[in-house]
Structure 1
């Protein structure tokens, strides 16, 4: 059992680097002498003599990230007495996440997530992260994901039958409910009542905001007892109670390859085998229920927003959904192969509205793309800007799922599209998220047409752990004669 906090012990890091240097995941870093040969990172334009780069935020965080992307591959931004290195180039981001990931830690990410999720996968580094990842990976293998597909269809169909027709719906909350329900029933193989799912969807944004605040705050600044922080503390306690109920209602698969079965087995290992504390099982359930559900749930909300603005695309998705769900034929064995456009719609939503930034910190002086990063440098990988780089994605502000079609996916480069991260810390649940997102979209599209409750209301993207809509209210209307 690993008992040290990973990422805080230099010997543990060194052992991890040596063990993985030849495996392709963590190649040996350049020596310190080579690091000093790098160029100094330029300061971003627009620096005020007193306010630093705070004026960049005059229009909001997301417009600032787009502006910074145009400033160069990597720039420094000053706010107060500290500087942040903002990486705006996909190749440099890939170098940090993959080629030199052992030189960059996750201090801010750990600080942000630990208060909400405990010692879940997002808060681990080095050998401890690799061991935990080894435990949960079978739940997201090809065979496990394929076995989960029919149940995902069933969960989405059950949700559709409960959906109020003709009532204005907050789409991000509705899709978070659906995504959380899929996670609970298909990934955990447990059950929760609709009221609990609704409560979770309501509180996810509250907990997510707390994560962002702790990421942004200095390490020395303790959480202040504000009404908002007290609400987040109460929400965290309630989530833990919900998770305990899920553990008690667990119905494992015969294959024992669902996530909760794998975690339970690791918490009760064979004699002499490494294991994890029972509390870590709950930490991981909170992690996947919160972070995983939010990412795909918000992406689905954006997908509906964009489909309502493009009727031809909407009708194409409906035709694909009808062929699978309204044809009267049984579901095929490989559902995902029959949903190429739905898959591309979710991919495009994650491109246009990704996690805005990924924080890292340099553990020692290092060069990246010829630029010198000093030891201790705070680094932000600007995914929002990279995903809107016109050199990588033609017409970057246009929602165009067809850019991901096999015949035109030349932009689907490893450096151009990073919604799930990359390298050793790439989201382990990415295959499950992609499948569940496409199925959820198609299931609802087979039965409903969604339109803005107020056609004149402009929807604005807001930066958080994910890029959320500020207010996205839509109305579901049944498609004539279409039922699942």
Structure 2
């Protein structure tokens, strides 16, 4: 997409933006650009509220079809909705200094405190630097067998031939993976179940605060406040039960070292350690769980794909051989399934606010504009993804697949705030999916009942009911399979 020549003004103000100041030229020079059009469907008194008739996700899909940048009027507030991948990348990476994260902070801070979701600028860079070593090649390779073991332990507890609320079960699994693999700690079964139960309540509250008008105070319900308080108590317990990894590069070891170094002054406080534990629990558990839940839902509708995933899983886990060094390389189709799930069911929106007048793709955005990056619409753009509502992992076949999608695939955001845990997610989701596929077939409990997608911090299914059936012949293989997973 062509960029306005006046975008150079935005680049000239970058240095001023880094320090929180403003370039004098940017303050006085007019910003040329097109006015942003209204989204279709505006009603004089109701604004665009009728677009919400079927919920947020259908509205985001409609807005994605309406144009790359549109104005959305919901009540007295105006939001600028970006539904083009290149423009989203422009905001997240190229012109990040023109955009603030006040909206993200007001959504997450009541739950996560001052963690990576809410920090910005130098504070964010320094905190990110502390935890980044946990997501480099060697620590991730050491973590992979543990992901297999955690999934194996979970599978043994999963009741067969019983109707399961699968989104809840996958939350329990992903919480356990985060606790044992990222934090090298332990959590009792009732604590894991509580975390899974409260995940949607907390996620919905974060989304509502993030998208509410800036003039509206960020509210918390009594149940949300109690859940947040208990969450902090859980994080303190996880810290107390920490058993560091041998390499010392697990997330909690790195945070503890920064808070209490062997020499010199601490870089962070003890409160910051707990804030980050909650941040990683919220980020990893919810996203990984919903990825796994949606993957099972889609595989149940696509039996050929399911059988192919099972074949990969059998070759890796049911052959009695030790795990290879690079497990994910042996799961190419399973990894494409995960990638396609994250396309269809992404984080619905990312919120930003302009800190000054700026142009994006030639459109003029005013100061303090509320901006929503419509990732749900971007990931279903028919100009980029043929048959965008179809689940098709084969669209990711070949090295050129990601390149040809350009910036229309943003499951982990982009720029300086791209998810630091993305490398772990890229391993944990396909490995956990394959480890379960080696043991079970999952079928819808009510095949004729459609599964509704609802918006939270991530796109989630509304009560995904499925039945897990042990695969024929698995019991005879279970002993060698379990030994291979350790």
Q: 2: CA distance between counterparts of 1:265 and 1:387?
A: 39
Partner secondary structure for residue 75 of structure 1? strand
- What is the aligned partner in structure 1 of residue 18 from structure 2? 17
TM-aligned CA deviation for residue 33 of structure 1: 6.6
- 1:370 maps to 362
- By how many angstroms is 1:122 displaced? 0.0
Q: 2:115 aligns with which of 115, 120, 128?
A: 120
TM norm structure 2: 0.91
Structure-2 separation of matches of 1:180 and 1:475: 21
For residues 410 and 180 of structure 1, what CA distance do their matches in structure 2 show? 29
For the residues of structure 1 that align with 2:204 and 2:151, how far apart are their CA atoms? 27
Q: Secondary structure at the match of 1:70?
A: helix
Report the TM-score when normalising by structure 1.
0.92
| Equivalent runs, 1:72-221 vs 2, <5 Å | 72-221=67-216
- Counterpart in 2 of 1:24? none
Q: Matches of 1:414 and 1:359 in 2, distance apart? A: 21
Counterparts of 1:325 and 1:111, CA distance in 2 = 44
Unpaired segments ≥5 residues, structure 2: 1-13, 482-486
Following the alignment from structure 1 to structure 2, what is the Cα–Cα distance between the partners of residues 463 and 91? 23
Which piece of structure 1 moves more, 338-347 or 273-282? Answer: 273-282
User: Quick one: structure 1 residues 177 and 35, their matched pair in 2 at CA, closer, same or farther if it must change by over 3 Å?
Assistant: farther
Contact 2:205–2:224 (8 Å) recurs in 1: yes
Q: 1:84·1:379 contact (CA, 8 Å) conserved in 2? A: yes
Q: Which runs of 5+ in 1 are unaligned?
A: 1-12, 20-27
Is 1:311 the counterpart of 2:303 in the alignment?
yes
- Output aligned runs, 1:282-301, within 5 Å: 282-301=274-293
What is the CA distance between 1:124 and its match in structure 2? 0.6
Matched, 1:431 2:430: no
Indicate if the aligned counterparts of 1:34 and 1:367 stay in contact, CA closer than 8 A: no
Secondary structure of the residue aligned to 1:41 is coil
Q: What do residues 215-234 of structure 1 show as CA deviations (whole Å, max 9, x unaligned)?
A: 23334434567xxx111111
RMSD over equivalenced CA pairs, Å: 2.0
Alignment-derived partner of residue 253 in structure 1: 245
Where does residue 265 of structure 1 map in the other structure?
A: 257
1:136-187 per-position Cα deviation (integer Å, ceiling 9, x unaligned)? 1111111111110011111111111111001111111111111110000000
Deviation at 1:35, TM superposition (A): 6.3
Please list the CA deviations of residues 266-325 of structure 1 after superposition, one character each: whole Å capped at 9, or x if unmatched.
111355556101011001001111122101111110000000000000000000000000
Instruction: Measure, in 1, the Cα distance between the counterparts of 2:289 and 2:421.
Output: 14
Q: How much has 1:455 moved relative to structure 2?
A: 1.1
Q: Give the whole-Å Cα distance in 2 for the aligned partners of 1:224 and 1:421.
A: 26
* 1:280 and 2:272 matched: yes
- The answer to whether the 8 A contact 1:119-1:283 is kept is yes
Distance 1:134 1:440 in 2: 28
Aligned-partner Cα distance in 2 for 1:459–1:242: 32
Question: Structure 2 vs 1, CA of residues 254 and 407 (structure 1 numbering), >3 Å: closer, same or farther?
Answer: closer
Structure 2 residue 411 is matched with structure 1 residue 419: yes
The separation in 1 between residues aligned to 2:150 and 2:59, in whole angstroms, is 39
Checking the alignment, whether the CA contact within 8 Å between 2:260 and 2:266 is kept in structure 1 is no
Compare 421-430 and 398-407 and name the one that shifted more: 398-407
Q: Does the aligned pair in 1 maintain the 2:85–2:407 contact within 8 Å? A: yes
What corresponds to 2:381 in structure 1?
389
* Aligned mates of 2:24, 2:68 — CA distance in 1: 21
How far apart are 1:456 and its partner, in Å?
Answer: 1.4
Whether contact under 8 Å (1:29, 1:100) holds in the other structure is: no
- 1:47-66 aligned at under 5 Å gives the runs 47-66=42-61
Distance 2:271 2:278 in 1: 11
8 Å Cα contact 1:35/1:372 also seen in 2: no
Mapped contact 2:211–2:351 kept (Cα < 8 A): no
Q: Is the 8 A contact 1:171 1:472 kept in 2?
A: yes
2:17–2:98: 8 Å Cα contact kept in structure 1? no
The answer for the alignment partner of 1:243 in structure 2 is 235
Counterpart-to-counterpart distance in 1, 2:422 and 2:256? 22
Q: Is the 8 A contact 1:308 1:452 kept in 2?
A: yes
1:56 to partner: Cα distance: 1.1
- Aligned partner (choices 199, 222, 229) of residue 230 of structure 1: 222
